[in-house]
Amino acid sequence: MYAYDEIDRTLINERVTEFRDQVGRRLSGELTEDEFKSLRLMNGVYLQLHAYMLRVAIPYGTLSSEQMRRLAHVARRYDRGYGHFTTRQNIQYNWIKLAELPDALADLAEVGIHAMQTSGNCTRNITADHWAGVAPGEIEDPRIWAELLRQYSTLHPEFSFLPRKFKFAITASDHDRAAIKVHDIGLRLHKNAQGETGFEVLVGGGLGRTPFIGKTIKPFVPGRDLLSYVEAILRVYNQYGRRDNIYKARIKILVHELGIEKFAQEVESEWLQMRDSALALDDAVVEEIRSRFTYPAYEKLPAMPDELKKAAHDPDFEAWRRNSVATHKVPGYAVVTISLKPVGGPPGDATAEQMEAVAALADKYSFGEIRVGHEQNLALPHVAKRDLPVLWRALDKNGLATPNVNLVTDIIACPGLDYCSLANARSIPIAQELTRRFANHDTANLIGRLHVNISGCINACGHHHVGHIGILGVEKNGEEFYQITIGGRADENATVGTLIGPSVPYGEVADVVEDIVEAYLALRARPDELFIDTVKRLGVEPFRERVYATR
Amino acid sequence: MTSPLQQKIKITGPSVVTANRTFDGVVIYRTAAKGWSTELSNAAIVRAADEARALLAESIADDVGAIGAYIAPVEIDESGEVSPGNLREHIRRQGVTIDLPVSA
């Protein structure tokens, strides 16, 4: 956990006071909506179909149990008793009243949570591998650098009005769980040939209307130079990024139009002028941030405790353990993913009671720490293996032990047309229907790892481009239709999926996904060939044939 | 951004002006009495572009009461009952099409 200092606390509290005044002036009519809109967006407040929506940041996906309880409190007191965890390590409340927003933000500020820069054309919430600090083989905890970037980018005067929003993601593992290749800047901590730690910097990734996989702009940037280098990128983007066309304003378009070599030259030239400026990082600054992260006092525990051996006889426990429990860097401990994808439920939603249950379980079994992943699930990062059976029972009691992590029903979905003012089609009911179709866990296990991502519009909040199966809602003559792509992935081998054919109506989407899955089961070379590998091996044609043979 | 009033207004059938209430974001409809109602049945119905433009203009002028006013199509059946003209407006009127998460 990171402990906020007085500067952070003052900043957050001052922002609440400022926003309270702005809301008051808006409600009195002193501020027009035109004047107020950019102010509310700077505080994560959108207007959706039915109400205001508040997007709250969970920097690098780390929450304390106290913070989770406060998220539950806000859900219960100011909203309708639940919240929606998003693909960017935020939580959204869908029914909040403008007049009550300052109180909600004040309550959050008491535990160091805020909504600053969760909207607007600025640097958004810095996201990270949600297993940071506990993943085996990690170079180092990437959250130290994420926190540094958070401090650097918060209220940055030069970059508060960029051509468009700007998203960072960071990982320190070979296996990318943070989707760094589909972010404006992706950072991968690694060691160079000399054994020094630094960053591979990727730029120009992104989804939305025009998806691009990020390109490596510099294979190795030492930690000392991280801030100056990203500032050089932001400066080049701020200068040349298009402000005349919102659809071409993201850095990915600039990188694409200039070409990565030319863009890199511009950045290099900018960087060389500032490399040794005040942005050059002093080791002491990094160490100060590092020292504010606290880690559990792990015990020496057996890798296979008796409790686990005994529970292994229970097939329900084993089904959950196989999908939800991952190896921890410390023997005797495990990382537990908590599925927020119950059969028939909206992906990523958690009730206030569930949030409180997770907080209590984190206190009891995970040193009070919780993580939020971009797949819209939660995780307990420090669970002693001996506690897994009792934790499983407690999660199950709260509807939080669906054994489907990474399976076909572990669906990423945006709020879609049920909530979102930008959406063309619904996402959640599609996800719900798919979870019912594949509710049988034996079938889901037989299918194996398969990521279905659903977006209700081209803005791609549901990351459909990088779903193994991607579903994009479009509107055709007033009806909801869905384009289906396959073969996308968001990991270290990130790829944009390929469209398999004409869009299909709402009522046929689940049938199409079933057809695709059946085709995969028939076509895979071996039972352990993953869906994504079968698509890579065979291309989309056999799937296209199967889906459209009878349509 | 272009103001809704500067945009060309084209309507192909009965329409209303809808917005969200500033205080809490609730969906509202402009009434013939120059007020707002949460009930579509109370909405002023317009059928021509000029009428629609005038209704939209007075709606937008109420910046304190409502935000994001725009013209939305409606359908009117033989009994005179008014219903939304597209799925988006159906969802705005009736709420989400899913059950909201509730405690176990």
Helix axis angle, A509-523 relative to A531-538, nearest 10°?
Answer: 80
CB contact under 8 A, B24 and A419: no
Residue B104 has a pLDDT of 59
What residues of chain A, 38 to 57, have a C-beta less than 8 Å from chain B?
47-52
Is B101 inside any structural domain?
A: no
A3 close to B (CB below 8 A):
no
Q: What domains can you pick out in chain A, each with its CATH number?
A: 6-109 (3.90.480.20), 134-291 (3.30.413.10), 306-397 (3.90.480.20), 412-548 (3.30.413.10)
3-state secondary structure of A367: coil
Residue A323 has a pLDDT of 95
DSSP secondary-structure letter at A301?
-
Interface confidence (ipTM) of the complex: 0.93
Across the interface, of A27, A81, A346, the residue whose CB is closest to B98 is A346
- The answer to whether A389 touches A310, Cβ cutoff 8 Å, is yes
pLDDT tier at B9 (50, 70, 90 boundaries)? confident
Whole-number Å distance between alpha carbons of A247 and A250? 8
Residue B52 has a pLDDT of 96
Is B99 inside any structural domain?
A: no
Q: Domain range for residue B40?
A: 15-93
Annotate A417-439 with three-state secondary structure. HHCCCCCCCCCHHHHHHHHHHCC
CB contact under 8 A, A418 and B91: yes
How many CB pairs below 8 Å do chains A and B form together? 84
Residue A296 has a pLDDT of 97
Is B52 inside any structural domain?
A: yes
Is B4 inside any structural domain?
A: no
pLDDT along chain A (551 residues), means of 10: 86 97 97 96 96 97 98 98 97 97 98 95 97 97 97 94 97 97 98 95 97 98 98 98 96 97 98 96 95 95 96 97 97 98 97 98 98 98 98 98 98 98 97 97 96 97 98 96 98 98 98 98 97 98 95 84
**β-sheet bridge partners, residue A481:** A474, A505
B1 close to A (CB below 8 A):
no
- The answer to whether A390 touches A380, Cβ cutoff 8 Å, is no
B88 CA to centre of own chain: 11
- The answer to whether A366 touches A387, Cβ cutoff 8 Å, is no
Is B58 inside any structural domain?
A: yes
Is B54 inside any structural domain?
A: yes
Helix axis angle, A352-365 relative to A65-78, nearest 10°?
Answer: 170
Which strands make up the sheet holding A62-64, listed edge to edge? A62-64, A369-372, A378-384, A333-338, A325-327
Residue A93 one-letter amino acid: Y
Residue B91: list chain A partners with CB under 8 A. Answer: 49, 417-418
**β-sheet bridge partners, residue A56:** A91
Residue A390 has a pLDDT of 98
Number of domains in chain B: 1
Across the interface, of B25, B86, B101, the residue whose CB is closest to A345 is B101
CB contact under 8 A, B24 and A49: no
* Interior/surface letters A102-122, b for 16+ CB within 10 angstroms, e for the rest: bbbbebbbebbbbbbbbbbbb
Query: Using one digit for the tens of pLDDT, what is the confidence trace for A399-421?
Result: 999 999 999 999 999 999 999 99
Residue B1 has a pLDDT of 53
Residue B5 has a pLDDT of 64
Q: Would you say residue B17 has pLDDT above 90?
A: yes
- Note the pTM of the prediction, 2 decimals: 0.96
Best probe of the A interface among B5, B20, B102, by most A CBs < 10 A, is B20
- The answer to whether A389 touches A424, Cβ cutoff 8 Å, is no
A303 CA to centre of own chain: 30
Residue A333 has a pLDDT of 98
Best probe of the A interface among B5, B24, B38, by most A CBs < 10 A, is B24
CB contact under 8 A, B25 and A48: yes
